[in-house]
Amino acid sequence: MDQGRPRLPGGSQPVLEISGLSIEFDTPRGVARVVDDVSLSVRSGEIVGVIGESGSGKTLTALSVLGLLPKRARVRSGSIRLAGESLIGLPEARWRAIRGDRVAFIPQDALRALNPVLRVDTQVGEPLHLHRGTPWQAARRRAVDLLTAVHLREPAAQAKKYPHQFSGGMQQRAMIAMGLALEPQLLIADEPTTALDVTVQAQVLKLLREIRDTYGTSILFITHDLGVVAELCDRIYVMYAGAIVEEGPVRRIFARPRHPYSEALLRATPTARSVQAELVSIPGQIPLPSELPPGCRFVDRCSVAFDACRRDPPPFAIEAGHTARCWHCEPRP
């Protein structure tokens, strides 16, 4: 039946496959392309990181997978496939069936993402009621199991509390429990640890890895924090000004970043080992989508820019599964 598309061997079938995705905004000053020709894939049981500064388009890319782009934004071109099924152009009712059931979203600020007037067990069990029609009582009982699975202490007692009675880490655990309710194929986490203390952060990351190991859930992890990426992800995509500039296995990129932007990002991350006199920063700031320089979008801030950078570089393969969009990576003839 499926002759057109060669099936990948089991286990490496991509759960999420975005290809050539471009998203545009209508602004008073014209059309702004905020996500430009982005392709990324998440295989079954894989944790994939997308790193970038604010304004790099990483959150919009994530929201497009849920069909929740802001009203002014629209997908210009490209495709999004969830386990082979094309998502773009689906009617709203089909989107609603996917959200929370097959794709769960974990937001940055868990407290603000929880309804302040509903008890935690009601909210954690809500997806069950919504998608499966589980009666409320059973959904709330299941919520306690889920809270146990995310290692909340005294889950039965805590389940009856209101979100504001939880600590930040507990709130994030509750959000993750809610995301797990229907055992989705894909979990999208948008900077879920940014609002947390470092120690709590580590616990939440450990929990996410455990979820992947237990349920085989694929995770798309959006962040600007390289430390978190190093700890959690299998592969990463580095985004800059709406485009992916480098992708590859996390170890390779950390050991040897090939795009000057990735390199600068790594250098700008303070580490315990290196004694830094002062914090390193990348000069300049991320260009507005309407004011992209011609050619390579990083050219204005790049310390190693040369003549070739006036043209937009294609992704050059460096090794298997590792590419960078920089003319310095062009294979020498």
Contact set with other proteins (CB under 8 A): 66, 68, 95-101, 104-105, 107, 109, 112-118, 126-127, 130-131, 178
Question: What's the min distance (Å) between Cβ of 69 and other proteins?
Answer: 11
Question: What's the min distance (Å) between Cβ of 111 and other proteins?
Answer: 9
Of residues 177 and 299, the one with the C-beta less far from other proteins:
177
List Cβ neighbours of 181 (8 Å cut-off, separation of 6 or more): 100, 104, 124, 125, 126, 127, 128, 142, 143, 146
Of residues 117 and 320, the one with the C-beta less far from other proteins:
117
How many CB atoms are closer than 10 A to CB 1?
3
Of residues 8 and 68, the one with the C-beta less far from other proteins:
68
Question: What's the min distance (Å) between Cβ of 72 and other proteins?
Answer: 13
The length of the chain, given as a count of residues? 333
Question: What's the min distance (Å) between Cβ of 115 and other proteins?
Answer: 5
Of residues 50 and 114, the one with the C-beta less far from other proteins:
114
Phi, psi at residue 309, to the nearest 5°? Answer: -65, -5
Question: What's the min distance (Å) between Cβ of 92 and other proteins?
Answer: 8
List Cβ neighbours of 60 (8 Å cut-off, separation of 6 or more): 23, 34, 35, 69, 73
Question: What's the min distance (Å) between Cβ of 195 and other proteins?
Answer: 11
Residue type, 235: R
Question: What's the min distance (Å) between Cβ of 283 and other proteins?
Answer: 34
Question: What's the min distance (Å) between Cβ of 101 and other proteins?
Answer: 6
Of residues 208 and 226, the one with the C-beta less far from other proteins:
208
How many CB atoms are closer than 10 A to CB 106?
24
Of residues 175 and 265, the one with the C-beta less far from other proteins:
175
Angle at 272 between CA 271 and CA 277, to 5 degrees: 75
Of residues 114 and 324, the one with the C-beta less far from other proteins:
114
Of residues 127 and 287, the one with the C-beta less far from other proteins:
127
Of residues 97 and 202, the one with the C-beta less far from other proteins:
97
Question: What's the min distance (Å) between Cβ of 105 and other proteins?
Answer: 4
**CA pseudo-torsion sign 262, 313, 56, 82:** negative
CB 245 within 8 A of CB 239: yes
List Cβ neighbours of 307 (8 Å cut-off, separation of 6 or more): none
Alpha carbon of 325 to those of 51, 74, 103, 258, 270: distances in Å? Answer: 15, 25, 30, 9, 25
